[in-house]
Amino acid sequence: MEMTAKDLAAALGGTVEGDPEARVNSFAKIEHGKPGQISFFANPKYEQYVYTSKASILLVNNDFKPSTPVTPTLVRVPDAYAALARLLNIAAGKDKQYRRHRGRCRIAWSAKLGSHVWIGDFVTIGKQCRIGDMTRICDNVTIGEGTVIGKQCIIYPGVHIFPGTVIGDRVILHAGCIIGDDGFGNARQPDGSWQKIEHLGNVIIGSDVEVGSNTTIDRAPMESTIIHDGVRIDNLCQIAHNVVVGKNTAMAALTGIAGSAIIGEGCIFGGQVGINGHITIADNTTVAAKSLVIGRIRKGGESWYGNPAILHKDYLKAYAKFKRSAEEDAA
């Protein structure tokens, strides 16, 4: 990517303050910026770097007022962070070159591929699959029979998608994730042994979803495990069978959701959160890192902490009593 300040302003709907011909060809954090690079400033705690940055161009919010002269050319936009995300997408798009496929892959004759589909080496696409326009499938991906993948998706290396999976548009599946494998279902027998429960359902993933590396989303024994539009799932998460994750929910790495849990819209889960099975989590619930939710959360918009998780305000009260008790014992 190589763009001038005026090109960036035109692409991002911004205005230039400084040299409109300032040119950049790479990105850098504001504290590391060098000539020829573009950085951004959105968080006030990094303002000190605005005045020391050597980057050629700096994305800033429209309402930013520098207290001293600034060396980089400023491109002012309504939201610098959102503008950076858009710019990264533009840069990534410029580097894509689409091809039908190489010879070192196996595609069933009955599979239907849209226009400008990119397929890497050692890819397997099963019978009756449908792949949307401009979707990119990287090396060593396996796509099971009857799977449907929408437009402009990116399937990174080593992803395994099991038969019958349905994936919407603009979905990103990062390296090594497993979509649609059997859930952990076993029935205890009278003699103490376990009988495997066959899983005949599938996984449905909406549009604009991103799933991190080595995350697993299990298919259901019956019906579907569902990930709604706009969900963000980090690396190394486990989504069990029959789980439903609501629109625009986000979860950090190592989150585990047990079978048949229903997660509302707009929820945020920190790292290593555990959600018990067969419970419902209300919309816009926040669960702090390493917390364990063992029961239903009925009221939305609240924050939960601890193991087992309790309301944030109750957690703070309990922690204060615990700390005071420890101090008294030590005295």
Instruction: Kindly list the domain boundaries of the chain, sorted by start residue.
Output: 3-95, 106-313
Residues 87, 89, 93, 95, Cα dihedral to 10°: 70
The pTM is what? 0.79
Q: Is the domain covering 3-95 a CATH 3.40.1390.10 domain?
A: yes
Please list the active-site residues. 241
Give which of 230, 235, 236 is closest to 249, Cα–Cα.
230
Q: What are phi and psi of 326, to 5 degrees?
A: -65, -40
Q: What is the pLDDT of residues 266-301, one digit of tens each?
A: 999 999 999 999 999 999 999 999 999 999 999 999
Q: In this model, does residue 103 exceed pLDDT 70? A: no
CATH of domain 106-313: 2.160.10.10
Tell me whether the omega of the peptide bond preceding residue 221 falls within 30 degrees of 0, making it cis. Answer: no
- Checking if the pLDDT of 90 tops 80, the result is no
| pLDDT per position as a tens digit, 231-256 | 999 999 999 999 999 999 999 999 99
pLDDT tens for each residue of 175-208: 999 999 999 999 999 999 999 999 999 999 999 9
Q: Return the half-sphere exposure (C-beta side, CA atoms, 13 A cut-off) of residue 272.
A: 6
Going 276 to 281 to 284 to 285, the CA torsion angle's sign is: negative
Tokens coding 177: 């994730």
